[in-house]
Amino acid sequence: MEFSLNSFDGALPVEVTVDEDNGRYMIRKSDTSGEYFNTPVEMIKWMRANFKADDFCIPSQFNEMMESLAQFE
């Protein structure tokens, strides 16, 4: 499962990857730095603490992504 969200703070989109088959849970931020997690639950907690819908050009895309990721909690 992959998501790409355009944010206001950079030219590149925020990329969120949840790959259960290979145990990859990561976020590439718009500044090209990244965050890596051992579980999807850790990633979702980090996202809730560091992102909000208003950070993105289309806030509803962020909300839809979070709803999709809720299955992993």
Q: pLDDT band at residue 19, thresholds of 50, 70 and 90?
A: very high
Q: Which residues pair with 36 in a beta bridge?
A: 26
Q: Does position 34 have pLDDT exceeding 90, yes or no? A: yes
Averaged over 47-60, what is the pLDDT? 96
In the chain, where are the structural domains located? 2-72
- Across the chain, what does the average pLDDT equal? 95
Residue 66 and residue 56: Cα distance in Å, rounded?
13
Q: Does position 52 have pLDDT exceeding 90, yes or no? A: yes
Secondary structure (3-state) at 39: coil
